Amino acid sequence: MSEEPRGGDTADTTTAKPPMRDALVAAAFQLFLERGYEQTTVDDIVTLAGVGRRSFFRYFPSKEDVVFPDHERCLTDMKAFLGAGTGEEEPVRRVCDAARLVLRMYAENPTFSVQRYRLTKKVPGLRAYELSVVWRYERALAEYLRGRFAGRPDGTLQADVIAAAVVAAHNNALRSWLRSDGQSDPDTAVDHALGYVQTSFGSSPGAGDASAAEQEDVVVVISRRGAPMWRVVREIESALGPE
Amino acid sequence: MSEEPRGGDTADTTTAKPPMRDALVAAAFQLFLERGYEQTTVDDIVTLAGVGRRSFFRYFPSKEDVVFPDHERCLTDMKAFLGAGTGEEEPVRRVCDAARLVLRMYAENPTFSVQRYRLTKKVPGLRAYELSVVWRYERALAEYLRGRFAGRPDGTLQADVIAAAVVAAHNNALRSWLRSDGQSDPDTAVDHALGYVQTSFGSSPGAGDASAAEQEDVVVVISRRGAPMWRVVREIESALGPE
DNA sequence: CGATCATGTGCACTGAGTGCCACACGTTGC
DNA sequence: GCAACGTGTGGCACTCAGTGCACATGATCG
């Protein structure tokens, strides 16, 4: 695999630390692909990488972590992105943009992402671990939305549901891209999927995004006699657009 | 795991239970509660239960499984419920009803559910395992919706998103009930949460359920010029009434 | 020079999970 | 009665993931 795409040892502060870490990832994936994940022991990895067994667990807290080497950084980036807002953005749109950060990470190394996808699809243990990774993204989005929806009735409920919907839509598009071996265009697929979520939860998906703007904006408003007026107003408000 | 032969020979699937399995669950929870999950070894459990170590793994494929002894049966029930429909039901409403089966299982043993909730909240390993359990429910709902949405454009996308939203809403209500030590009313909370999902995805939540019928029947319909007509029709149809 | 710190290694240990075999039963058949 | 069975159970012995601890190196700093 790619032994060390980043050239200089004197690189930026974020990512240029460990040569050994990358060597372990490369050795691990080589063995995983040629003989399977469960058939590969940590000892096999470290002997191929030429390092001590103890060093493996210094870089990766578990054997599964070597399969997702960059998710920790991506989660940090997502939290930073969500925390860097002015607090005036449309919340649903904001979490959709945050989800796109994950797609960007996958799209940076298509071949690596596809290989990992095939692994996680086959190995139940890796699928379970991936779930816990995805769950942390979802929690980050939900926590952000909870903050933005504070005071709103059912704020935490809406935050949890929308976060789950955003993650599901993102993963749906991401998986279809991975299934195409990275041949299709991931960005338009994710835009389309997230557009569906935005329309479902009553915010116009467009506003600067031409591809999604023309697709669908249908919300049916029927108010039964006796329905609380504050709810009618809220639905209309949220249906009409970005706050 | 479940050695239940398909098709009830005696009573239905709930009551044909090995005594040893229950003894193991009881012993395990006693130790988990008094000294913690990670501080309890499988040897501790089997010695307290008075059985051999090997028998533990005969009934539970892993140590985590003893914490969720009845989810396998519940998942089977959910799949059976989804498969038993006539194919004419309103799909979103159907998966909401399926999700209520999970709530029912939790509500059957409130004290047990609350104890387990406290455990999973504290132990990261159990949280991860719970995620894989919840994921299987979500996949069951999504697969059902994919079948119902077959042929529809973006059918799988809508299926995945709605399934995720239903699970998130259900879990939101379930957790608030668990946090109240089982004192609040779980059914109304779940009805309310699922009602939010149903309105978000364009189907009236009421229709036969009196408690939910009077609470909210407000759907705002705004159709942008150029929106596909089939979607407008579908939204109006589903918003207007019982399937 | 010694002191400190960071990074990598070796070793022994715990504990989960598995494979294999033996034993205790209950039943059926002769 | 005994023999042949299938089933549930217990008892090792083993692999492997993960941890704690001590030790070795090298660099920097006083």
Ramachandran area for residue A82 (φ above 0: left; ψ -120 to 50: alpha; else beta): alpha
In degrees rounded to 5, what are phi and psi of residue A28?
A: -60, -50
Stretch A103-132: mean pLDDT, rounded? 97
CB contact under 8 A, B169 and A154: no
Helix (H), strand (E) at residue A34: helix A19-35
User: Residue B86 above 60 pLDDT?
Assistant: yes
Percent of chain B whose predicted confidence (pLDDT) is above 70: 76
Å between CA of B109 and C1' of C16: 29
CA–CA dist B204, B212 (Å, integer): 10
- CA torsion through residues B46, B50, B54, B55, sign: negative
Q: How far is B229 from chain A (nearest CA, A)?
A: 9
Task: Report the residue from A131, A196, A235 with minimal CB separation from B135.
Answer: A131
pTM of this structure: 0.81
Cβ–Cβ < 8 Å for A59, A21:
yes
Q: What is the pLDDT of residue B3?
A: 38
Q: What is the pLDDT of residue B243?
A: 41
Task: Report the residue from B128, B164, B227 with minimal CB separation from A128.
Answer: B128
User: Tens digit of pLDDT for each residue in A165-205?
Assistant: 999 999 999 999 999 999 999 999 999 999 999 999 866 66
A234-238, B46-50, B197-201: the lowest-pLDDT one: A234-238
User: What's the one-letter identity of residue B37?
Assistant: Y
User: What's the one-letter identity of residue B91?
Assistant: P
Å between CA of B144 and C1' of C30: 55
Helix, strand, coil proportions of chain B in percent (round to 5)? 65, 0, 30
Q: Which of residues 23-42 of A touch strand D (CB under 7 A)?
A: 40-42
By three-state DSSP, how is residue A183 classified? coil
Structure tokens at B178: 């668990």
Q: What is the pLDDT of residue A240?
A: 60
Q: What is the pLDDT of residue A221?
A: 60
Q: Count the alpha carbons within 13 Å of B125 in the hemisphere toward its beta carbon.
A: 10
Nucleotides of D under 7 A from a protein CB: 8-12, 15-21
Distances (CA, A) of A117 to A83, A148, B169: 30, 34, 28
Cβ–Cβ < 8 Å for B133, B106:
no
CA–CA dist B232, A221 (Å, integer): 11
Strand C CB shell (< 7 Å): A 18, 20, 50-55, 58-59; B 40-43, 53-54, 57, 61-64
Cβ–Cβ < 8 Å for B59, B43:
no
Structure tokens at A90: 């449309």
**pLDDT-based confidence at residue A224 (cuts at 50, 70, 90):** low
User: Residue B2 above 50 pLDDT?
Assistant: no
The residue of chain A with its CA nearest to that of B201 is A200
Q: Which nucleotide is nearest to B55 (CA to C1')?
A: D9
Q: How far is B132 from chain A (nearest CA, A)?
A: 6
> Which residues from A are below 8 Å from B163, CB to CB?
168
Percent of chain B whose predicted confidence (pLDDT) is above 90: 73
B21 CB closer than 7 A to any strand D atom = no
Structure tokens at B115: 């104890």
Cβ–Cβ < 8 Å for B10, B4:
no
Q: Residues for chain A: how many in total?
A: 243
- CA torsion through residues A42, A47, A52, A58, sign: negative
Cβ–Cβ < 8 Å for A231, B195:
no
Å between CA of B60 and C1' of D6: 22
* Residue among B116, B114, B113 at smallest CA distance from B37: B116
Burial class (CB in 10 A: 0-12, 13-18, 19+), B103: buried
Structure tokens at B18: 């090995």
Residue-averaged pLDDT of chain B? 85
User: Residue B178 above 60 pLDDT?
Assistant: yes
Residue carrying structure tokens 């990512």: A15
Q: Which nucleotide is nearest to A20 (CA to C1')?
A: C8
Any residues with CB less than 8 A from the CB of A70 and at least 6 apart, and which? A105
User: Tens digit of pLDDT for each residue in B33-83?
Assistant: 999 999 999 999 999 999 999 999 999 999 999 999 999 999 999 999 999
> Which residues from B are below 8 Å from A214, CB to CB?
226
User: Residue A209 above 70 pLDDT?
Assistant: no
User: Residue B15 above 60 pLDDT?
Assistant: no
Which among B37-41, B216-220, B236-240 has the top mean pLDDT?
Answer: B37-41
CA–CA dist A24, A49 (Å, integer): 6
CA–CA dist B165, B171 (Å, integer): 10
Axis crossing angle, helix A155-179 with helix A110-122, rounded to the nearest 10: 100
Task: Report the residue from A164, A202, A227 with minimal CB separation from B167.
Answer: A164
User: Tens digit of pLDDT for each residue in A21-73?
Assistant: 999 999 999 999 999 999 999 999 999 999 999 999 999 999 999 999 999 99
Report H helices in A61-109. Answer: 71-83, 91-108
User: Residue B224 above 90 pLDDT?
Assistant: no
Task: Report the residue from B201, B216, B223 with minimal CB separation from A200.
Answer: B201
User: Residue A128 above 70 pLDDT?
Assistant: yes
